[in-house]
């Protein structure tokens, strides 16, 4: 009978020290959780994006050809023959590129997505961030009023989890590594 090889002494010491294993495990979990909390689409890393342009200004300036990263609350999702068209109420973005709905709206814009966007997922009041190029300025209606929409052909689209949606009064509750409640 051949004896089985014994593990290296360093491994034996680590396995026999439950406190060290617990600390290492906790440290790894913390790093993973913090990484998950700070993740966003990272669309703003695109150097060609015009970060100063907002939806209301784009509609007035006829900013066709500008690359933008805009986000907001979905107002409508229309399925087209070869894609989907979202109407979005724009808001400023936070550092993770999520719409800051506690701030003032910045107009409306349309997102043309090449492919089907499930209306059950991309429904009214969900938050979305889009990256793309303004390809046209189009006329439409908001209620009974005429409205001018910049149309963004999206090459990137990020649907935020439902729990990311913030109340219109600016209050929010997020649960992560800890609990933070703010207004």
Q: Is the pTM of this model over 0.85?
A: no
Alpha-carbon separation of residue 151 from 13, 37, 163 (angstroms): 62, 31, 27
17 or 126, greater pLDDT = 126
Write b or e for each residue in 12-50: b if 16 or more Cβ atoms lie within 10 A of its Cβ, otherwise e: eeeeeeeeeeeeeeeeeeeeeeeeeeeebbebbeeeebe
Q: 115 pLDDT exceeds 60?
A: yes
Q: What is residue 167's predicted lDDT score, i.e. its pLDDT?
A: 44
> Which structure tokens are listed for 152?
């963004």
Whether the CB-CB separation of 68 and 143 falls below 8 Å is answered with no
Q: Whole-angstrom Cα distance, residue 46 to residue 85?
A: 23
Q: What is residue 177's predicted lDDT score, i.e. its pLDDT?
A: 63
Confidence of residue 99 (pLDDT cuts 50, 70, 90): very high
Q: 36 pLDDT exceeds 60?
A: no
Q: What is residue 47's predicted lDDT score, i.e. its pLDDT?
A: 82
In tens, the pLDDT along 76-88 reads 999 999 999 999 9
């Amino acid at each position: 009978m051949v004896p089985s090889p014994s593990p290296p002494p360093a491994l034996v010491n680590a396995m026999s020290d439950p406190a060290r294993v617990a600390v290492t495990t906790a440290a790894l979990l913390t790093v993973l959780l913090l990484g998950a909390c700070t993740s966003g689409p990272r669309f703003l890393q695109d150097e060609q994006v015009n970060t100063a342009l907002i939806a209301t200004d784009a509609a007035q300036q006829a900013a066709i050809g500008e690359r933008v990263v805009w986000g907001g609350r979905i107002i409508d999702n229309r399925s087209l023959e070869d894609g989907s068209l979202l109407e979005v109420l724009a808001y400023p973005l936070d550092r993770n590129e999520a719409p800051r709905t506690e701030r003032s709206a910045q107009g409306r814009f349309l997102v043309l997505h090449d492919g089907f966007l499930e209306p059950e997922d991309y429904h009214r009041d969900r938050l979305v961030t889009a990256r793309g190029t303004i390809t046209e300025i189009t006329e439409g209606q908001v209620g009974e009023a005429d409205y001018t929409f910049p149309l963004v052909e999206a090459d990137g689209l990020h649907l935020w989890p439902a729990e990311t949606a913030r109340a219109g009064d600016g209050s929010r509750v997020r649960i992560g590594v800890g609990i933070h409640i703010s207004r």
